């Protein structure tokens, strides 16, 4: 038995949400009318031992992969360690650290600075609300340092498979590890603009969204979810999708494309944002559930 982390439960008539403040303020469980929609381990402590493949967790101050080791960025040196089997530095720094509970459904954590590999100090906050059929999540990444900082913010949910998925992206980076500089028009199995079962083995990112929404459905369970995404000042939202060999599909709304720091340094599309001192990057996500039968 793993150590049992503290849990915060928010609920409405149709929804139940369980958060783990001690492990990244991540979502351990999302239930609609008693049906689990996330890949949820029986023991919440599993998130600490195996942090990447369960529930839903925030990605900050970058999303997806960046290259580990020393890299000069804006006159400072980023030197984050590899933390994933493919040798990359993945999904930021706060996904399984303890967060402070600062109010009803409100959380915060600080990171970065000397000795962390990310030379800028920052704060991430989360506000959670469950009202009726909707779970609302509002993340904010604030630059606490005295110089400009590259910034990325995202959410990494693992939804239970099988499911139907619609991502209204007109272009796609067909691989996330070592992505191309420019996205390509969607075609064939990489065209997710109509609902369907995503193919196995995906690890790609969709961009050029016709609308800031993603549709998910579990026809055999009679449940559907509409995911609405907003990030003020970000013109090019991205939605990676991964379909590994286990029973889940990752659908990850975020503020930049894959290899975000490389894009930032090279002036490529869908790069990380620049946050000047005291400024924030926001990401609001609403998940609205409905019955389909």
The model carries a pTM of: 0.97
Give me the pLDDT at residue 235, please: 85
pLDDT in tens, 84-123: 999 999 999 999 999 999 999 999 999 999 999 999 999 9
pLDDT in tens, 195-249: 999 999 999 999 999 999 999 999 999 999 999 999 999 988 999 999 999 999 9
Residue 2: pLDDT band with limits 50, 70, 90:
low
DSSP 271: P
Q: Which of 247, 83, 236, 91 is nearest to 176 (CA)?
A: 91
Indicate whether 144 pLDDT > 80. yes
- The domain in which residue 59 lies consists of 8-291
| β-bridge pairing 239-242 and 248-251 | antiparallel
Q: Which residue has the tokens 């990310």?
A: 118
Q: Would 155 be classed as within a structural domain?
A: yes
Phi and psi based region of residue 26 (left: phi greater than 0; alpha: psi -120 to 50; beta: remaining):
beta
* CB-based contact 176:203 (threshold 8 Å): yes
Dist CA 93 CA 121 (whole Å): 12
Q: Which residue has the tokens 């049992």?
A: 4
Tokens coding 19: 């958060």
pLDDT in tens, 173-192: 999 999 999 999 999 999 99
Give the torsion sign (CA, 75, 64, 24, 80): negative
Dist CA 20 CA 22 (whole Å): 5
Q: Would 3 be classed as within a structural domain?
A: no
Three-state SS for 83-116 is CCCCCCEECECCCCCCCEEEECCEEEEEECCCCC
**How many percent of the chain have pLDDT more than 70?**
99
The per-residue pLDDT of the chain, averaged, comes to 96
The CATH number of the domain holding residue 60 is 2.70.98.10
Q: Would 22 be classed as within a structural domain?
A: yes
Domain count, the chain: 1
Q: Residues 144-150: what's their mean pLDDT?
A: 98
Residue 112, Cα to own-chain centre: how many angstroms? 19
Q: Would 2 be classed as within a structural domain?
A: no
Q: Residues 34-63: what's their mean pLDDT?
A: 97
Q: Would 271 be classed as within a structural domain?
A: yes
Q: Which residue has the tokens 């609902």?
A: 195
Give me the pLDDT at residue 1, please: 42
C-alpha distance from residue 46 to each of 51, 63, 131, 210 (Å): 8, 22, 28, 37
């Amino acid at each position: 038995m793993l150590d049992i982390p503290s849990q915060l439960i928010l609920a409405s008539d149709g929804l139940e949400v369980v958060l783990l403040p001690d492990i990244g303020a991540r979502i351990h469980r999302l239930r609609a009318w008693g049906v689990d929609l996330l890949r949820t381990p029986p023991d919440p402590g599993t998130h600490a031992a195996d942090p990447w493949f369960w529930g839903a967790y925030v990605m900050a101050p970058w999303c997806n992969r960046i290259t580990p080791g020393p890299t000069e960025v804006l006159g400072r040196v980023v030197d984050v360690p590899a933390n994933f089997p493919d040798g990359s530095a993945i999904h930021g720094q706060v996904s399984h650290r303890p967060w402070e509970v600062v109010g009803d459904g409100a959380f915060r954590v600080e990171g970065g600075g000397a000795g962390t590999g990310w030379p800028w100090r920052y704060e991430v906050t989360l506000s959670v609300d469950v009202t009726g059929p909707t779970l609302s999540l509002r993340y904010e990444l604030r630059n606490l340092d005295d110089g400009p900082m590259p910034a990325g913010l995202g959410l990494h949910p693992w939804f239970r498979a099988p499911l139907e998925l619609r991502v209204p992206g007109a272009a796609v980076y067909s691989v996330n590890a070592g992505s191309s500089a420019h996205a390509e028009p969607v075609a064939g199995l990489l065209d997710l603009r109509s609902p369907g079962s995503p193919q196995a083995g995906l690890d790609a990112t969709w961009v050029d969204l016709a609308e800031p929404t993603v549709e998910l459905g579990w026809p055999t369970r009679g449940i559907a979810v509409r995911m609405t995404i907003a990030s003020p000042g970000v013109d090019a939202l991205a939605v990676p999708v991964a379909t590994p060999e286990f029973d889940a599909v990752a659908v990850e709304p975020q503020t930049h494309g894959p290899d975000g720091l490389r894009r930032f340094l090279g002036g490529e599309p869908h790069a990380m944002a620049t946050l000047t001192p005291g400024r924030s990057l926001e990401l609001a996500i609403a998940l609205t559930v409905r019955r389909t039968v």
